[in-house]
Homo-oligomer: A and B are copies of this chain.
Amino acid sequence: MNDRLLRACRRQPVDRTPVWMMRQAGRYMKEYREIRQKVSFLELCKNPDLAAEVSLQPYRVLEVDAVIFFSDILIPVEAMGVSVSLTDKGPEIATPIRTQEAVDTLRIPDPAGEIPFVGAILNRLRQEIQNAVPLIGFAGAPWTLASYMVEGGGSKNFAEIKTLAFRESRVLHNLLDTLASTVSAYLLFQIESGAQVIQLFDTWAGELNRRDYEEFALPYTRKIFEAIGHRVPGILYVNGCAAILESMANSGADVLSVDWRISLAEARRRVGDRVALQGNLDPCVLLGSKDRIVSRTSEILEEAGPVGHIMNLGHGILPSTPLENAKALIETAKSHRHSR
């Protein structure tokens, strides 16, 4: 087995830095677009055959060092009893959750009974991959899931969830706690179903300053990593993490996935050797010239050093990315030899 990713998560020596891309199964691949012409996004998430197929596409075409199963972070939210639409403009939640009464209607789903297709996708993938590379499971973190649930979809200012935070924080804490229980059970189910690494996406926690991060995001992230108990390595991603990186390092995650705004050298100085680092090419660099992609990728590999680094983007790959540019990133990472 190519276990570079698992070894990098644990800060063990590797012959070269492993590489994969957030949202690597997606619209920038024609094989993915062909399947999406036949089914909606949500149908794809719930169809084990097709979801496994699109999960494997980047592994076959780009030969990345890990497979992440295809899904959406709002899948368990739907199973909590919330009506979710996944549109081309992003998720929509027609009836936002903004009161204690609304929080009280939420259920903590039993994943095996209510989200069985996720187990089926992971089982299928483990069979297909035959231990060639690790399989990554994932979930949204409570703050980020709550932001969709309270805002009713994507947001610019996060005004609704912050109104709740700053006016009725008890209601928000109850929602976050319910989400932490949901996500813990959901990730344990993914691990039982074959996930060998898990990544927790707290994408929107970078909207919080350290104090609010430590009140509204960190305790729930920590609860989830405690529930997982290092059964498999855990990765924590936050977009815009420059202000809260040290706090993230206290989450119990084995790996911090860093957006492109700070260098991994600086991230390493700030968090020390407690955690591995993942990232952090600006996804927009993949819209640039081949020279720029190669030089920036090489620089990140050097800044991060040979131990405890997983090469990745700083955010999900953009649908408009040319496939050959994604290939340039992967090939640069694979052929890189560290100067130290």
Which residues from chain A sit less than 8 Å from chain B, CB to CB? 157-159, 162-163, 165-167, 206-212, 240, 242-244, 260-263, 282-285, 287-289, 292, 318, 320
Contacts and interface: CB of A to CB of B under 8 A. Distances in A.
Given A243-B261, A262-B243, A285 B209 contact: no
A163 B206 CA distance: 24
A261 B165 contact: no
Given A243-B242, A261-B240, A163 B209 contact: no
A166 to B, nearest CB: 2
A284 B240 contact: no
Contact of A285 (B166, B210, B244, B320): B166
Nearest to A213: B261
A124 B285 CA distance: 47
Contact of A158 (B157, B166, B284): B284
A216 B48 CA distance: 45
Contacts of A283: 157
B208 A261 contact: yes
6 contacts: A159-B318, A162-B287, A165-B288, A166-B288, A206-B261, A210-B263
Contact of A287 (B163, B207, B242): B163
